[in-house]
Amino acid sequence: MARILIIEDNLVNMKLISTVLGIAQHAVLQAPLAGEGIEIARRELPDLVLMDIEMPGMDGLEATAMLKADPATAHIPVVALTAYAMKGDEARFRAAGCDAYLAVPFDYVELLALVARTLAADGGSGAGTIA
């Protein structure tokens, strides 16, 4: 089990992702906006952040760059969620500091597999605890 922060302005996606992670026994933290998400990340230091890219105000890439620039949160893996995974986007996500990305809509098996892989690759407290 891991503590996972979801930063996502689309409430339908938020609910769906939270449900899938909850069934897999992960503890979920939620933020509907980037600024609030960054505050929660700093306070709660989750094991993983799922970051929507398209959000009003500060977008997910800017928010990821802020988390990665802060020594307190730089180690937390960030998975970008995007409806627009097109050629060149992966390079953009990685440049901002994202560790992986997932195209929405996604298969729930794909989501859980990516979460497990990303937690394992992090080598932090969550590593090796995911089946």
What is the C-alpha separation between 34 and 6, in angstroms, rounded? Answer: 10
Residue 30 or 45: the one with the smaller Cβ distance to Mn ion is 30
Q: How far is the CB of 101 from Mn ion (least distance, A)?
A: 14
Site for Mn ion, rule CB under 5 A? 9-10, 52, 54-55
Compute the distance between CA of residue 14 and CA of residue 77 in angstroms, rounded to an integer: 19
Smaller CB distance to Mn ion: residue 52 or 99?
A: 52
- CB count, 10 Å around CB of 38? 22
Q: How far is the CB of 63 from Mn ion (least distance, A)?
A: 12
Q: Residue holding tokens 């500060």?
A: 58
Pick 54 or 62: Cβ nearer Mn ion: 54
